[in-house]
């Protein structure tokens, strides 16, 4: 008897409708394929499965027994989803419908769910499945170990992020807690220095002031090093005037050099001016550190600062700033120079005892320089002095010719324009509102403004500040950032919102009240928060008379009494 009979061996993905030649046997080639397919099911390490559209197992590989403890004989003919973890049924049902839907491609890849082991535990399986005809052909792989490792990695990552955030919060809190009392020390000493003192009193007051400044630098260095280690030291490029931004650091170094009877020389290259896109604060920090070291380690002689800009170097549209600080101080040898930019390292162990310091400053300079894409190097001869060179790539935001033309035009307008009072009754004292909860800091500001053309009103929280601004006339607000009831950021936002409401009601711009944020929070995110809230300036604590009076002068145009 001869006929063509379709035989299904339940391995339809490999053999479909193999023809029998006659009733006596199977075509040899088909028989060989059947043997290969059956062997593949027996030796496969992955879990092979064929089921029908009702979910009943047609055939599974021997690896199911290895992984889940169920033999193929126990599973074939059973409903596959009876082994599924109850919690995984809803999401698995979605994939079941997806793989059975030929219109959507009838395919699922990478889906993970849990199946019950014969011992009652559950294993996680990752599936690849496709529909062919009225069967679903699937391959599963045990990923329990991989998923456990992934969860552990995610947990470790979350723990690391939490630890990093905790460190950030700790640094911010320590910055505030340390700078707050330090503000009292440095601020009150600054106010005391302005009084008439005997030579003996002035000597002692100056020593206290120097110690306070050293402590402030130490706190800043430690915080910066911690931020470098945590990867949280940020570079924030802004459009800045190079010389305007560097001038405060230069002026401070010049004053310190002259106080030590050193010659201070500055050489400015022909193109070392203009507006650039760069982080002005970080460049100034590098320069301040190098100049401070030069003055500190030089007993006699001179300190020289050279600034140069080379345009279109090292590539077009890029300018290279070179800062060179040279001194005639103690110097260091080649061996000491090799570790000079490492943390907690100084030229020799006696430097710390002779000059003080932590050895953090130059490592911070290197970190900042490299973060801005630059380089820092040093050369020195013991007993003759040292030279530090910093190169930084900058981008001009306008051409040098346009910058020079703008400067000339601005100067011409300033000479022709009449003096414009910044407030009503320019001859009257400036009305200053201070929002500050700490009694010592209140006294610091009060002492600094004594004898100056300012009338001070003090409130103790942000809510009182908002109320005072609404009910009184003030020319400027000094706002602490951290206060009870309402903090300085919320108070600043409330004041700006009230100004916006007045503008909308009147149909013309309302007067913008200058707000200066006084804060011991000196980290970059805090400066950005103050700016976003509507503050006009951010003055970091500890505040000195020079910085406070300078900020007030910039805000209201009233020069302090010398």
* pLDDT tens per residue across span 77-117: 999 999 999 999 999 999 898 888 876 677 888 899 999 99
Between 225 and 436, the more confident residue is 436
Mean pLDDT of 247-271: 90
Question: At 515, is the pLDDT very low, low, confident or very high (cuts 50, 70, 90)?
Answer: very high
**Eight-class DSSP state of 86:** G
Structure confidence at residue 456 (pLDDT): 94
Kindly state the greatest CA–CA separation across the chain.
131
pLDDT, mean over the chain = 82
What pLDDT is stored for residue 44 in this prediction?
Answer: 87
Task: Compare 424 and 114 and report the one with higher pLDDT.
Answer: 114
Whether 328 shows a pLDDT value over 80: the answer reads: yes
From first CA to last CA, the distance across the chain in angstroms is 123
- What is the rounded distance in angstroms from the CA atom of residue 122 to the CA atom of residue 399? 69
- pLDDT at position 432: 95
- For residue 170, the model assigns a pLDDT of 75
- Tell me how crowded residue 1 is: count the other CB atoms within 10 A of its CB: 5
Predicted confidence at residue 206, as pLDDT, reads 82
Structural class in CATH, domain 148-230: mainly alpha
Instruction: In whole angstroms, give the CA distance from residue 349 to residue 361.
Output: 16
pTM for the model: 0.53
Q: CA–CA separation, 506 vs 529, rounded Å?
A: 29
Average pLDDT over residues 289-314: 92
Element (H, E) at 125: strand 122-132
Task: Average the pLDDT over 327-356 and give the result.
Answer: 67
The 10s digit of each residue's pLDDT in 159-212 is 988 887 777 677 667 766 777 787 778 888 888 887 888 988 888 888 888 777
DSSP per residue, 136-175: EEEEEEE-HHHHHHHHHHHHHHHHHHHHHHHHHHHHHHHH
**Is the per-residue pLDDT at 345 higher than 80?**
no
pLDDT value of position 505: 82
Do residues 97 and 41 lie in contact, with contact meaning Cβ atoms separated by under 8 Å? no
Which pair of structure tokens corresponds to residue 194?
């302005």
Fold for 427-557, please state it: Rossmann fold (3.40.50)
* Nearest C-alpha neighbor of 455 from the set 475, 425, 484: 475
The pLDDT assigned to 307 comes to: 96
Residue pair 132/12 in contact by the 8 Å Cβ criterion = yes
| Residue 507: both structure tokens together | 């149909």
> What is the rounded distance in angstroms from the CA atom of residue 337 to the CA atom of residue 386?
10
Mean pLDDT of 10-14: 41
Rounded average pLDDT over 267-287 = 91
The answer, yes or no, to whether residue 309 has pLDDT greater than 50, is yes
**pLDDT score, position 20:** 31
Query: Which of 378-392, 411-425, 463-477, 541-555 comes out lowest in average pLDDT?
Result: 411-425
Distance CA 370, CA 341 (A): 12
* Under 8 Å between Cβ of 385 and 329: yes
pLDDT confidence of residue 486: 95
Cα–Cα distances in angstroms (integers) from residue 535 to residues 240, 331, 350, 512, 532, in the given order: 19, 44, 46, 11, 7
Q: What is the pLDDT of residue 562?
A: 55
pLDDT tier at 244 (50, 70, 90 boundaries)? confident
pLDDT grade, residue 7 (50/70/90)? Answer: very low
Split at pLDDT 50, 70, 90, the class of 538 is confident
pLDDT for 349: 47
Q: Cβ neighbours of residue 524 under 8 Å, at least 6 residues apart?
A: 234, 236
Strand 302-310, strand 263-268: pairing: parallel
Kindly tell me the burial class for residue 189, based on how many C-beta atoms sit within 10 Å of its own C-beta (0-12, 13-18, 19 or more). buried
- Span 268-277, mean pLDDT? 93
Q: What is the CATH number of domain 238-403?
A: 3.30.565.10
Of the candidate ranges 240-244, 344-348, 526-530, the one whose mean pLDDT is the lowest: 344-348
Average pLDDT (340-355) is 53
Q: How many other C-beta atoms are found inside a 10 Å radius of the C-beta of residue 76?
A: 17
Tokens at 329, concatenated: 């101080």
- Looking at residue 516, its pLDDT comes to 94
Percent of the chain surpassing pLDDT 70 = 83
Distance CA 506, CA 500 (A): 10
Instruction: Please spell the DSSP secondary structure of 27-65, one letter per residue.
Output: -HHHHHHHHHHHHHHHH-SSEEEEEETTSBEEEE-THHH
- Is the per-residue pLDDT at 31 higher than 90? no
Share of the chain above pLDDT 90, in %: 42
pLDDT mean over 281-295? 90
* 4-13, 33-42, 79-88, 432-441: least confident range: 4-13
Q: What are the Cα distances from residue 69, in Å, to 63, 72, 277?
A: 9, 10, 66
Structure tokens at 2: 């001869």
The gap from C-alpha 248 to its chain's centroid, in whole angstroms, comes to 26
What is the model's pLDDT at position 521?
62
Confidence of residue 448 (pLDDT cuts 50, 70, 90): confident
Handedness of CA 339, 345, 346, 348 (dihedral sign): negative
Distance CA(419)–CA(439), nearest Å, equals 38
Q: Which H helix or E strand runs over 264?
A: strand 263-268
- Is 3.30.450.20 the CATH classification of the domain at 11-145? yes
Bond from prior residue into 314 cis (ω within 30 degrees of 0)? yes
Q: pLDDT per residue over 485-499, tens digit each?
A: 999 999 999 999 998
User: What residues does each domain of the chain span?
Assistant: 11-145, 148-230, 238-403, 427-557
Q: What is the arithmetic mean of pLDDT over 342-357?
A: 49
Q: Rounded distance, CA 491 to CA 467, Å? A: 10
Q: Look at 172-176, 305-309, 456-460 and tell me which has the smallest mean pLDDT.
A: 172-176
Say if CB 427 and CB 466 are below 8 A apart: no
Q: What is the DSSP letter of 120?
A: S
More confident residue, 281 or 22: 281
Distance of alpha carbon 449 from alpha carbon 468, whole angstroms: 20
Give the pLDDT confidence score for residue 36 in this predicted structure. Answer: 64
Pairing, β 537-540 against β 515-519 = parallel
- Which of the four pLDDT bands, split at 50, 70 and 90, describes residue 333? confident
């Amino acid at each position: 008897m001869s006929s063509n009979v379709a035989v299904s061996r339940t391995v339809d993905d490999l053999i479909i409708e193999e023809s029998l030649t006659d009733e006596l046997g199977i075509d040899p080639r088909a028989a060989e394929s059947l043997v290969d397919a059956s062997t593949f099911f027996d030796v496969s390490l992955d879990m092979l499965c064929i089921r029908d559209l009702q979910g009943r197992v047609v055939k599974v590989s021997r690896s199911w027994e290895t992984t889940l403890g169920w033999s193929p004989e126990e599973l074939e003919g059973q409903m596959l989803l009876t082994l599924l973890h109850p919690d995984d049924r809803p999401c698995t049902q979605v994939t079941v419908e997806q793989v059975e839907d030929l219109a959507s491609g009838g395919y699922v890849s990478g889906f993970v769910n849990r199946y019950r082991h014969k011992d009652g535990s559950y294993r996680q399986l990752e599936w690849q499945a496709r529909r062919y005809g009225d069967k679903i052909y699937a391959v599963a792989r045990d990923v329990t170990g991989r998923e456990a490792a992934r969860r552990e990695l995610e947990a470790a990552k979350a723990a690391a992020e939490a630890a990093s955030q905790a460190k950030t919060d700790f640094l911010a809190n320590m910055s505030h807690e340390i700078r707050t009392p330090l503000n009292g020390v440095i601020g009150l000493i600054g106010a005391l220095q302005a009084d008439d003192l005997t030579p003996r009193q002035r000597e002692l007051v100056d020593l206290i002031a120097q110690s306070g400044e050293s402590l402030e630098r130490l706190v800043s260095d430690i915080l910066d090093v911690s931020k470098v280690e945590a990867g949280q030291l940020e570079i924030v490029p802004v459009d800045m005037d190079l010389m305007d931004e560097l001038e405060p650091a230069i002026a401070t170094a010049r004053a310190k050099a002259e106080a030590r009877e050193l010659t201070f020389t500055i050489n400015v290259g022909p193109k070392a001016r203009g507006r650039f896109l760069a982080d002005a604060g970080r460049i100034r920090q590098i320069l301040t550190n190098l100049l401070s070291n030069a003055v500190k380690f030089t007993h006699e002689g001179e300190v020289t600062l050279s600034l140069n800009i080379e345009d279109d170097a090292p590539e077009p549209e890029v300018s290279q700033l070179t800062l060179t600080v040279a001194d005639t101080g103690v110097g260091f040898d080649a061996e000491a120079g090799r570790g000079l930019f490492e943390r907690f390292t100084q030229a020799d162990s006696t430097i710390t005892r002779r000059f003080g310091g932590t050895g953090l400053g130059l490592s911070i300079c290197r970190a900042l320089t490299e973060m801005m894409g630059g380089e820092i190097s040093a050369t020195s001869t013991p007993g003759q002095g040292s030279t530090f060179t910093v190169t930084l790539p900058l981008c001009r935001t306008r051409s040098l010719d346009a910058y020079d033309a703008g400067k000339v035009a601005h100067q011409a307008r300033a000479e022709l324009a009449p003096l414009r009072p910044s407030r009503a009754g320019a001859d009257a004292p400036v009305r200053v509102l201070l929002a500050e909860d700490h009694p010592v800091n209140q006294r610091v500001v009060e002492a600094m403004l004594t004898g100056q053309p300012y009338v001070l009103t003090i409130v103790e929280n942000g809510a009182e500040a908002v109320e005072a601004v609404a009910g009184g006339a003030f020319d400027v607000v000094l706002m602490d950032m951290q206060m009870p009831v309402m903090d300085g950021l919320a108070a600043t936002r409330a004041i700006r919102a009230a100004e916006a409401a007045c503008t909308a009601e009147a149909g013309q711009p309302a007067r913008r009240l200058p707000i200066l944020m006084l804060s011991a929070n000196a980290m970059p995110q805090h400066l950005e928060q103050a700016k976003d809230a509507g503050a006009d300036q951010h003055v970091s604590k500890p505040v000195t008379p020079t910085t406070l009076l300078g900020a007030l002068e910039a805000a209201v145009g009233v020069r302090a009494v010398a």
